[in-house]
Amino acid sequence: MDQTARKAHRRRVRADALPKVVRIGLPKDRWRDLYHSLLVLPWSGFFAILVGFYLAANTVFATLFVLQRGAIAGAETGSWLEAFFFSVETMATVGYGVLHPGTLYGHIVATTEIIFGVMVVPLATGLVIAKFTRPTARILFSRHAVITGFEGQPTLIFRAANLRSNQIIEGRAQVSLLRRQTTQEGHQLRRIIDLPLLRQTSPIFALSWSVMHRIDEASPLAGVDAASLHADDARILVVMTGIDGTTSSTVHATHQYTAGDIRFGHAFVDVVSLAADGTPHIDFNRFHETRPAPPAAAVEPVQRPPETGRIAPVM
């Protein structure tokens, strides 16, 4: 896959990490949660708001300075642009010694701006630091999940890898099946069913982890095929958590597989090998590759069990 396709996949993965929800009729006081809203903004949007707010504030104070002639002593032209740059210097408390307030009105505006800057600039700096230091996990999920034979039993398998050179301690994976259903009364619901894993935890998540769910008679995936997954708008939701071995903070990552992302009768190619000195190597160039499973891995599908699981509103 070329670089353009990889970037497109990464954008799609970020967009589809969780089911999309359009919220209608939220309370109108969302500004009270401004701090969280700014933290979750992309960096581009965050800096756009930060720079826009800074320019807007200096525009207001520059306009106040030019309302009175002589408010800025040492001004050569008395233009609004000169007042704007004086406002920038005042808000940052870095006067250059040439321009300074020249009247009582100018001192009042300058004092107000300095108080405003002392309160607002540290808040903006704190937001930048909070965004930089927010604990995150760089976990790569395989583009596809496969359903293939493993130890004589149909098994759902997908890969996850820690892209950082550190370790994730006490890594834990939780996998759920989201399936749309219609009740006898005609109500549409989304049933959320936990998928038990062969290994749900990893003491040290440093390289690659093949997450497996065995499809037996009790599995919610028993008897499914590609057509039934599409008909039910089924999705596999993955949540991984753990402790960052460097910062000791809890990190998490989410991913979802749609019906079109699941390949039946395929298996992943090997990506982990050992060097001559015994050092494990992982080849990320082949991390997403699958191949048709050999005939020996073919197994008969088991019958689908009665529906069980938690009920959630349609998302």
Whether residues 172 and 251 fall in one domain? yes
- The answer to whether the beta carbons of residues 286 and 206 sit under 8 Å apart is no
pLDDT at 1 over 50: no
For the chain, how many structural domains are there in total? 2
Buried b / exposed e across 191-222, counting CB within 10 Å, b at 16+? bebebebeeeebeebbebbbbbbbbeeebbbe
What is the average pLDDT value for the chain, to the nearest integer? 83
pLDDT at 182 over 80: no
Cβ-based burial of 262 (10 A; exposed 0-12, middle 13-18, buried ≥19)? buried
Whether residues 110 and 127 fall in one domain? yes
pLDDT of residue 33: 74
> What does DSSP say about strands 168-182 and 235-244: parallel, antiparallel, or unpaired?
antiparallel
Whether residues 190 and 285 fall in one domain? yes
| Better-predicted residue by pLDDT, 190 or 20 | 190
Q: At what angle do helices 104-133 and 80-91 cross, to 10 degrees?
A: 60
Q: How far is CA 49 from CA 55, 59, 65, in A?
A: 10, 15, 24
Lookup: tokens for 89:
């210097």
Give the Cα separation of 83 and 62 in Å (integer): 5
Whether residues 38 and 167 fall in one domain? no
pLDDT of residue 312: 44
pLDDT of residue 27: 63
pLDDT at 281 over 60: yes
| Better-predicted residue by pLDDT, 185 or 84 | 84
Whether residues 49 and 86 fall in one domain? yes
Flag whether 216 is in a domain.
Answer: yes
Q: At what angle do helices 43-66 and 80-91 cross, to 10 degrees?
A: 120
Beta strand segments in 208-278, E? 208-214, 235-244, 250-258, 262-264, 266-268, 272-274
pLDDT at 294 over 80: no
CATH number at residue 277: 2.60.40.1400
pLDDT at 26 over 70: no
Residue 113 belongs to domain spanning: 31-133
Whether residues 202 and 298 fall in one domain? yes
Beta carbons within 8 Å of 118's beta carbon, 6+ residues apart: 93
| Better-predicted residue by pLDDT, 98 or 253 | 253
CATH number at residue 64: 1.10.287.70
Flag whether 98 is in a domain.
Answer: yes
| Cα dihedral sign, 306-308-313-315 | negative
Whether residues 237 and 214 fall in one domain? yes
Whether residues 106 and 176 fall in one domain? no
pLDDT of residue 18: 55
Whether residues 172 and 123 fall in one domain? no
Flag whether 164 is in a domain.
Answer: yes
How much is the average pLDDT of 233-259? Answer: 90
Give the Cα separation of 224 and 280 in Å (integer): 37
Give the Cα separation of 178 and 47 in Å (integer): 36
| Better-predicted residue by pLDDT, 13 or 230 | 230
Whether residues 51 and 101 fall in one domain? yes
How much is the average pLDDT of 77-95? Answer: 89
Flag whether 94 is in a domain.
Answer: yes
Last residue of a domain, one of 101, 133, 165: 133
Whether residues 127 and 266 fall in one domain? no
pLDDT at 41 over 80: yes
pLDDT of residue 302: 59
Lowest mean pLDDT among 32-36, 67-71, 152-156, 289-293: 32-36
Per residue in 127-140, pLDDT tens?
999 888 888 888 99
Last residue of a domain, one of 133, 161, 183: 133
Flag whether 5 is in a domain.
Answer: no
Last residue of a domain, one of 72, 99, 133: 133
pLDDT grade, residue 186 (50/70/90)?
Answer: confident
Q: How far is CA 1 from CA 14, 69, 159, 174, in A?
A: 18, 65, 18, 29
Whether residues 116 and 165 fall in one domain? no
pLDDT at 123 over 50: yes
**Percent of the chain residues topping a pLDDT of 90:** 39
Flag whether 6 is in a domain.
Answer: no
